[in-house]
Amino acid sequence: MISERTERKALNGTRRLLIVLPVAAVLLALCVSLLACTRTDPKPAGPPEKVTIAYAPTNSILAQVAQARGYYLQEGLEATLQLQPYGKLGLKEMLEGKADFAICGETPILFAIMNGEKISIIATIQTSNKDSAIIARRDKGILTPSDLKGRKIGLTSGTVADFFTDAFLAVNGISRKKMNVVVLKADDLPDALANGEVDAIATFSPFVTQAQKKLGNRGITFYGKDIYTQTFDVVATQEYIRRNPGKVRKLLSALINAEKFVGENRVEAQKIVADFNRMDIAMLRDIWAVTSYSITLDQQLLLALE
């Protein structure tokens, strides 16, 4: 939840961002330059270097394709993909030293920076303006955003859905203080809504689709595609990046190869990811339709963080 305490810390957090983001931008520019110079180089000599990447099923499509297609090994990396239910938990694993890289939304990254963590964003690999949503019980009389006022809404604190909720309520003239917020784990939200424990939930993929399927025509979904574009970003500690620039370059090269494959082979890429996660491919296609997959580090990320 975006609290008054967080607001008081915003200035310090912004100062940290002004330091962290330029470092990441310079790093990415350096890596891209190196990639341009070495795309025709032979495969790296010697044994592959080991890296661990914490990821969630739907926030890291390019990372999964790179693993399945062998792009990490081509670059000289032996990558272990460490599955987490959602990005915030992956970031936690990375901060605890259990992973070298994490892929997550920008909101947990921002909170971590504001809490003093010295991390850098290496690249954005996915964006979507329909990944987060509020799903509500139509059968409880919720038909418009204004009907959410005073209702019990479940969400996972410190995630992109937490920020999305604040933005959505503000745009629709609803004070968060007028809501009865229930903090739940992301994977518990669809059942909590279906069982009537809450009147609505604010969540993200794949839990949006799961909740929609559980409710059927009893539910209604509110998106905010004109309110908020969500980014999914690769992050690491600044210390790790300083010590391992070669691994960062190799990781980016593998992800760029995956981006090219996904762009040219959409159907095959969807099957790879569905098999990788043992996910229903129809659900994956719904998510895919509202998501962009490309390696960037641009103004959109800065605006989202601001």
Residue-by-residue DSSP string for 236-289: EEHHHHHH-HHHHHHHHHHHHHHHHHHHH-HHHHHHHHHHHHT--HHHHHHHHT
73 pLDDT band, cuts 50/70/90, is very high
> Is the N-terminal amide bond of 22 cis, ω within 30° of 0?
no
Instruction: Report the alpha-carbon distance of residue 186 to residue 182 in Å, rounded.
Output: 12
- The four Cα atoms 67, 70, 74, 75 give a dihedral, to 10 degrees, of -10
Residue predicted with more confidence, 49 or 161: 49
- Average the pLDDT over 222-238 and give the result: 90
| Pairing mode of beta strands 292-296, 200-204 | unpaired
More reliable by pLDDT, 124 or 18:
124
Average pLDDT value for residue range 147-165? 92
Packing angle between helix 106-114 and helix 160-171, nearest 10 degrees? 100
Give the residue among 167, 163, 200, 168 at the shortest CA–CA distance from 181.
200
114-140: burial string, b at 16+ Cβ within 10 Å, e else: beebebbbbbbbbbbbbbbbbbbbbee
Region 141-153 average pLDDT: 95
Number of neighbouring beta carbons within 10 Å of residue 253:
24
The mean predicted confidence, pLDDT, of the chain is: 86
Q: For residue 298, what pLDDT is reported?
A: 85
| Spatial distance between the Cα atoms of 225 and 53, rounded to a whole number of angstroms | 29
Predicted local confidence at residue 129, as pLDDT = 86
pLDDT given for residue 49 in this prediction = 97
**How much is the pLDDT for 86?**
92
Separation of alpha carbons 89 and 54, rounded Å: 8
pLDDT (average), residues 49-64: 95
Does residue 4 carry a pLDDT above 60? no
Q: Cα-Cα-Cα-Cα dihedral of 164, 169, 170, 176, to 10°?
A: -100
Distance CA 256, CA 125 (A): 9
Mean pLDDT throughout 271-276?
Answer: 94
Which has the closest alpha carbon to 123: 268, 221, 251, 263?
Answer: 251
pLDDT of amino acid 44: 64
